[in-house]
Amino acid sequence: MAKSATTIAAGTVIRGRIHGEESIELLGRVEGHVEISGSLTVDAKARADAEIQAASVFIDGIVVGNVTAEDTIHVTGKAIAAGDLTAAKIIVDDGARIRGFVKMTGAPKTRQKPSTTRATAPAATVPPAAPDQDEDEPELPSSASKRRVSVKKR
Amino acid sequence: MANTTIGNSIVIEGEITSQEAIVVQGTVKGKIETSQSVFVENSATVEADVTGESVEVSGSVTGNIDAQTRVEIKAEGSMVGDVKSPRILIADGARYKGSIDMGQ
Amino acid sequence: MIGSTTSIRGRVTGDENLTVVGSIEGSVQISKELTVDKQATVDATVEAARVLVSGQLNGQVTAAEEVRIDRNASVTGDVNTPRISIADGAHFEGRIDMPFDIPTID
């Protein structure tokens, strides 16, 4: 049942929990929780203040909340996404406004290192270090010759 | 069509507020409120108070209906709850339990 | 330009565009554009006006103007920039922080 049988029109606000086995096209507003096995389209003028879980999520409007998609999250150049985005594939168009942790769960196309660890756990990506540098302290310019992956604390 | 349609497999637990017609094919538990018509189709289960311009029930409604103009419970429809509407039509074959208030 | 057989460990600073084809470990601070080429690997804290990635970049990125992550790129790290694009096929993991206000609900 992949058809988008469900449409939430521009003048409609739904507060609560929405779940189902199909796709939803959102032109209005949703507040709460959306969990569907189909795809969710958040239209240019639509807004979802919600935790979202779907096969794919296409964001052309505003989403405030965490979004998890099995396949793809696409954030267009007009969209706002404030919240964590997790999907096998995430596409962000120029102009999009994003705030949150973005994580692609699909196989990375790296040639050497897997990048599947969170950026907040840099230790996992640090190769065998010189004996004197086990600490993961922030990198100083003068010690730049030591390889450290320095990421902002969240 | 600028309708809001709640598809077959969709379950909404919460509140729908709208300025458009609402077509329910799935399940809504909570509240439906619109200035336009509400259509509760064959496949639909509505456990909610419904407010609309007019309400047409072909599926199942448990809850009270408050309609501005008209309520129609179709032959295949069933409803448990009170109806407040100036006009009401209960088709032959429809199931209904509740009280009706048609105003003065 | 840092060629394909060149690898730098340390700190790179400059006021011009920089294209990395080889590798850098450490930090990069340039006032213009940093391009991480297809075969390049940058494990560094990066500060630049624009950061264009086709290769691999691991580290915190601050771009005053823009970050562009191409389809074969892989970026791991937190990104701070007013403008970003991530192409279909790219891999990214990290926090994105852009300066904007979430519109209020009217």
Least confident range from A18-32, A106-120, C70-84: namely A106-120
* Residue B20 CB burial class (10 angstroms; 0-12, 13-18, ≥19): buried
CB contact under 8 A, A90 and C9: no
Mean pLDDT, rounded, for B23-34:
97
Q: What is the pLDDT of residue C44?
A: 95
**Model confidence at A5, in pLDDT bands (50, 70, 90)?**
confident
Count A/C contacts: CB-CB distance under 8 Å: 120
How far is the alpha carbon of A74 from chain B, nearest alpha carbon, in Å?
A: 23
User: How high is the mean pLDDT of chain A?
Assistant: 78
C-alpha span between B17 and A24 (Å, rounded): 17
Of the candidates A67, A116, A55, the residue with the CA atom closest to the CA atom of residue A96: A67
Buried (b) or exposed (e) across B25-34, using 16+ Cβ within 10 A?
bbbbbbbbbb
Verify A-C touch: 3 or more CB pairs within 8 A: yes
Q: What is the pLDDT of residue A115?
A: 42
Q: What is the pLDDT of residue A131?
A: 42
Q: Which of A7, A16, A19 sits opposite B5 (nearest CB)?
A: A7
The secondary structure of B19-82 as a DSSP string is SS-EEESSEEEEEEEESS-EEE-TT-EEEEEEEEEEEEESSEEES-EEEEEEEEE-TT-EEES-
Q: Would you call A2 an interface residue with chain B, using a CB distance cutoff of 8 Å?
A: no
List of chains touching A (3+ CB pairs within 8 A): B, C
Q: What is the ipTM of this complex?
A: 0.92
CB contact under 8 A, B11 and A14: no
Q: What is the pLDDT of residue C37?
A: 95
> Structure tokens of C41?
């690997």
List of chains touching B (3+ CB pairs within 8 A): A
Mean pLDDT, rounded, for C68-94:
96
**Model confidence at A116, in pLDDT bands (50, 70, 90)?**
very low
C-alpha span between A35 and B68 (Å, rounded): 34
For residue B4, the chain A residues in CB contact (below 8 A) are 7-9, 12, 28
For residue C103, the chain A residues in CB contact (below 8 A) are 62, 80
List of chains touching C (3+ CB pairs within 8 A): A
CB contact under 8 A, A20 and B7: yes
Q: What is the pLDDT of residue A107?
A: 65
- Residue A89 contacts residue A69 (beta carbons within 8 Å): no
Q: What is the pLDDT of residue C9?
A: 85
**Model confidence at B2, in pLDDT bands (50, 70, 90)?**
low
Q: Which of A92, A93, A126, A153 is the best substitution to test chain C (most C C-beta atoms within 10 A)?
A: A92
Report pLDDT digits (tens) over B37-90.
Answer: 999 999 999 999 999 999 999 999 999 999 999 999 999 999 999 999 999 999
C-alpha span between C92 and C86 (Å, rounded): 8
CB contact under 8 A, C10 and A104: no
**Model confidence at C3, in pLDDT bands (50, 70, 90)?**
confident
Greatest CA separation for chain C: 57
CB contact under 8 A, B13 and A6: no
